[in-house]
Amino acid sequence: MQPDVWVLYEHMYRSRLFEEAVSRQWKEGRISGEMHLSIGEEAVVAGTVLQLQEGDAMALDHRGTSPMVMRGVDMVRLLREFMGQADGLCCGKGGHMHLFSRQHLAASSGIVGASGPAAAGFALAARHLRPGTIALAFFGEGAMNQGMLLEAMNLAVVWKLPLVFVCKDSKWAITTVSATVTGGKLTKRAESFGMPAVEIDGTDAEAVWYAARDAMKRARSGRGPSFLLAACPHPEGHFLGDPLLRITRNPVKEIKNVAGPLVKSVTRLKGGSVAKRTGGLGKVSSLIGQTTKAQLLRQKDPLKILCGKLKKDSGRLREIEVRIENEIQQVISSALKAQA
């Protein structure tokens, strides 16, 4: 079996446009609180979720929008949920981090690492209630240091659960560079539990698709879980309005806002030793430097990469894009109309 690149692109484009529209709604104040987008993760999501079958389940992290959209969850109800409205997917009680769809056997959680146990539960239920079906677990590399995820991996192997663990490696967990808090290689860590682990380029939808195909085949045939490690960027930082990103994008304007409090933190009489406080300042400037570097390196856009491969049939490409653009416009106007 081979992936249909046009289908992959269509779903990735829809997800991207929907999240860009969500971003605009957030900036205009119609969505409150934090907003974590899955922009940058589309190839990982498309390569895995689009191979799910009827009765398969997925346990998601705080970036659940793209998997929900690609699994076919109604986008108007999703956006209404983000807006905290009673006609949202979860009656406006969950927000973008706590999404649930019984029909799609899909659940997300803002508790880092929680998708591991949830997916193990889905997979155990699959074995008993829906033989031949599987579960997917999505999480970031930061979650790989959470005990509950590692415990779930252990049991999944021991019980040979039909499960695929998908680790989306952005190299950052909020303001922590993951390499500074993570020992060893994550694929080796997963292998040490006794499951196969594959490292793939998470911006290459086809590469993800092939790796996921093999992992899902293994799970469906009762041979147990697998681990996929897929590097992918978060061009919008940890969440919308990410302060580190704001500084790197607009240093002159933003430094003005933070310089005062930073200088005050070093010069005030009370507090820790001056050495400790200047050390803290050094840490902040180092983080700004690393964010700038990461931004410069994060030029790989999964959507652009796939689009580049499809450009030879520009007519077909444009037809898909125009159709999706109209669809998203409809979604946004329906969601806002319900607001009025």
Ligand X SMILES: Cc1ncc(C[n+]2csc(CCOP(=O)(O)OP(=O)(O)O)c2C)c(N)n1
Note the residues at the interface with ligand X (CB under 6 A): 62-63, 110-113, 139-143, 170, 172-174, 238
* Cβ-based nearer residue to ligand X, 119 or 173: 173
* Cβ-based nearer residue to ligand X, 106 or 332: 106
The CB-of-169 to ligand X minimum distance in angstroms stands at 8
The CB-of-112 to ligand X minimum distance in angstroms stands at 4
* Cβ-based nearer residue to ligand X, 47 or 142: 142
**Beta bridge pairs of residue 172:** 177
Cβ(134)–Cβ(126) under 8 Å? yes
The CB-of-121 to ligand X minimum distance in angstroms stands at 17
185: tokens are 């290689």
Q: Which residues of 175-195 are buried (b: 16+ CB within 10 A; e: fewer)?
A: eeebeeebeeebbebbeebeb
The CB-of-115 to ligand X minimum distance in angstroms stands at 10
108: tokens are 């997300």
The CB-of-141 to ligand X minimum distance in angstroms stands at 5
Q: Which residues of 298-325 are buried (b: 16+ CB within 10 A; e: fewer)?
A: bebbbbebbeeeeeeeeeebeebbeebe
The CB-of-138 to ligand X minimum distance in angstroms stands at 9
The CB-of-187 to ligand X minimum distance in angstroms stands at 16
* Cβ-based nearer residue to ligand X, 179 or 255: 179
* Cβ-based nearer residue to ligand X, 46 or 335: 46
The CB-of-238 to ligand X minimum distance in angstroms stands at 6
Q: How many residues does the chain have?
A: 340
Nearby residues of 316 by Cβ (< 8 Å), 6 or more positions away: 6, 310
**Distance (Å, rounded) from C-alpha 126 to C-alpha 143?**
24
The CB-of-129 to ligand X minimum distance in angstroms stands at 29
Element (H, E) at 175: none
* Cβ-based nearer residue to ligand X, 61 or 201: 61
Q: Which residue is nearest to ligand X (CB)?
A: 140
Dihedral of the CA atoms 158, 160, 166, 169 (nearest 10)?
Answer: 30
* Cβ-based nearer residue to ligand X, 109 or 133: 109
* Cβ-based nearer residue to ligand X, 10 or 141: 141
Nearby residues of 67 by Cβ (< 8 Å), 6 or more positions away: 38, 45, 49, 58, 60, 106, 108, 138
DSSP string, 55-103: T-EEEE-S--HHHHHHTT--HHHHHHHHTT-TTSTTTTSSTTTS-EETT
* Cβ-based nearer residue to ligand X, 47 or 113: 113
Cβ(74)–Cβ(61) under 8 Å? no
DSSP string, 123-167: HHHHHHHSTT--EEEEEEGGGGG-HHHHHHHHHHHHTT-SEEEEE
